[in-house]
A and B are shown apart, each in its own frame.
Chain A
Amino acid sequence: MKISPLVLIGCLAAAMLARPAAAWAHAFLDHANPKVGSVINDSPGEIKIWFTQEIEPDFSTIEVHDSNGHQVDKKDSHLDAKDKTLLIVSVPKLADGEYSVAWSVVSVDTHHTHGDFKFTVKTKS
């Protein structure tokens, strides 16, 4: 059976159009709550970070520091029960000020990544 070159080109074009979204492999921050660089009116109960890939909970942590460099989170970083890309850490009621969030994670494909961002708590007086 001969296959026309046009059919082959068509198949290739179709494959290109139907191509899957590119993988990120190494897990990077996708989005967070509180949002990166945001100013929020209320202290959040938890810091949530969604990553671009599933992560290994035993080697993944979030630390929250106040402007003096003191760690303020409850040191209970854990994965969401359903979403394996979501890492959560609890925080006590935060006073007004700027906080830095440092994350360090290992993706399921074994790669280690880390990063940080800031957010500010400014309650309405």
Chain B
Amino acid sequence: MDTTLTTMIWFIAARAVHFGSCLIVFGVCWFDRFAITARVGRESGVVVRAWERIAARLMLVALPLAAISGVAWFVVVAMNMSGLSLHQAMQPHVLRLVFQTRFGRLWQWRVICWLATALAAGGIYFSSAKSRVRSALIWLTFVLGAVLLGSLAWSGHGQDGNRPQWHLLADTSHLLVAAVWPTGLLPFGILLLFLRRTPADEGWPAASQITNRFSSISLASVAILAATGFVNSCYMLRSVSDLFSTTYGRVLLAKITFFLLAVCLGAVNLLLLKPRLARRPAKIAGKLQITTTAEIVLATAVVVVVALLGTLPPG
């Protein structure tokens, strides 16, 4: 296979995994603070125990993935910037130059942010910290996870345009809100799966409340994603016809299509399944599980498309 194509595939893969893992890190923090609230989820011991195990495992997967994909992203950028092979691009004098670029400086800050996030998450899920310390660590991880994710706006097209501050604001908001929905579907789906496999019915009332809460917040997220996505598109496209006539436009159109399909599935959850969950939890939860899984698949497709978009010239 052509070396350039191979490098490009690695680049897109690294970007997709990095976007996905950073979204999960912040998505788990968000879900913990706002979907599993003190009033809702914590009333049920089953839900609390299940959630803590789910959150710990998601963090245990997402944080190392974020580190590995972040390194891979940096390596490919170093090769691309220098025009050198992998071995040559990893020479200290080349790396020093890459670290002096805007991207290199951003990545140094993000490494520090990742380390702090990993330490804070380790304190939450893998130590016996007291509840007040634990709560403080969760909020700290929440903030650090937001920085880790939001700072990705500075790594690509977010800094382009004649008024880049608005583009960066829209791009950062887009990333952070995407961690709420659709990324929040992942912890939600796993929690549902766990509750379906638990024989006791103790967790269903809490699960129903979490579903209600998650649905309401998701609705707002969809609106914000559409608005910030519109602003981003205004920066990246010269006219609506670019959506059909340029490679960037066509790939963006694919992203919008996946997004709209996921919104349609979300509407099925919201309008048809959610109202019936409290009455027939076990049966409806099964259907909810299917639509949620389909939404997660579509969301994954969106992340891959976003990873590809960042490598294409806009217009």
| Bound complex: CA A56 to CA B98 (Å) | 9
Q: Please pick, from A19, A23, A104, the residue contacting B160 in the complex, using a CB distance under 8 A.
A: A23
| Bound complex: CA A26 to CA B314 (Å) | 8
| Bound complex: CA A16 to CA B94 (Å) | 43
| Bound complex: CA A26 to CA B166 (Å) | 19
Q: Is A112 an interface residue (CB 8 A)?
A: yes
Tell me whether B162 and A21 are in contact (CB under 8 A): yes
How many Å from the CB of A29 to the closest CB on chain B? 13
Q: Please pick, from B80, B238, B311, the residue contacting A22 in the complex, using a CB distance under 8 A.
A: B238
A39-73 CB mask vs B (1 if < 8 Å, else 0) is: 00000000000000100101100000000000000
Tell me whether B314 and A25 are in contact (CB under 8 A): yes
How many Å from the CB of B237 to the closest CB on chain A? 6
Tell me the A78-117 residues at the B interface (CB within 8 Å).
104, 106, 108-112
How many Å from the CB of A65 to the closest CB on chain B? 19
> Could you tell me the dominant secondary structure of chain B's interface residues?
helix
| Bound complex: CA A62 to CA B231 (Å) | 35
Tell me whether A22 and B101 are in contact (CB under 8 A): no
Tell me whether A59 and B82 are in contact (CB under 8 A): yes
Q: Is B97 an interface residue (CB 8 A)?
A: yes
Tell me whether A112 and B313 are in contact (CB under 8 A): no
Interface size on A, residues (CB 8 A): 21
How many Å from the CB of B251 to the closest CB on chain A? 13
How many Å from the CB of A58 to the closest CB on chain B? 4
Contacts of A56 in B (CB 8 A): 81, 101-102
Q: Please pick, from A20, A24, A58, A110, the residue contacting B77 in the complex, using a CB distance under 8 A.
A: A110
Contacts of B80 in A (CB 8 A): 106, 110-112
Q: Is A7 an interface residue (CB 8 A)?
A: no
Tell me whether A59 and B81 are in contact (CB under 8 A): yes
| Bound complex: CA A26 to CA B100 (Å) | 19
Q: Please pick, from B83, B100, B230, B236, the residue contacting A112 in the complex, using a CB distance under 8 A.
A: B83
Contacts of A9 in B (CB 8 A): none
Closest chain B residue to A56 by CB distance?
A: B101
Tell me whether B81 and A110 are in contact (CB under 8 A): yes
B186-202 CB mask vs A (1 if < 8 Å, else 0) is: 00000000000000000
Tell me whether A108 and B157 are in contact (CB under 8 A): no
Closest chain A residue to B311 by CB distance?
A: A111
Contacts of B236 in A (CB 8 A): 22-23, 25
How many Å from the CB of B240 to the closest CB on chain A? 9
Contacts of B166 in A (CB 8 A): 20
Q: Is B234 an interface residue (CB 8 A)?
A: yes
Tell me whether B314 and A108 are in contact (CB under 8 A): no
Q: Is B161 an interface residue (CB 8 A)?
A: yes
Q: Please pick, from B97, B160, B167, the residue contacting A24 in the complex, using a CB distance under 8 A.
A: B160
How many Å from the CB of A34 to the closest CB on chain B? 26
| Bound complex: CA A19 to CA B230 (Å) | 10
B137-174 CB mask vs A (1 if < 8 Å, else 0) is: 00000000000000000011101111100110000000
Q: Is A6 an interface residue (CB 8 A)?
A: no
Cβ-closest 4 pairs across A and B: A23-B160, A23-B161, A19-B234, A22-B238
Given A15-B234, A25-B313, output 6 extra A-B contacts at Cβ < 8 Å. Answer: A20-B162, A23-B157, A23-B161, A53-B160, A108-B159, A112-B80
Chain A contact residues, CB within 8 Å of chain B: 15-16, 19-26, 53, 56, 58-59, 104, 106, 108-112
Residue contacts A-B, CB under 8 angstroms, 18 given: A20-B161, A20-B163, A22-B234, A22-B315, A23-B157, A23-B161, A23-B162, A24-B160, A25-B313, A56-B102, A104-B83, A108-B101, A108-B103, A110-B77, A110-B80, A110-B81, A110-B101, A112-B80
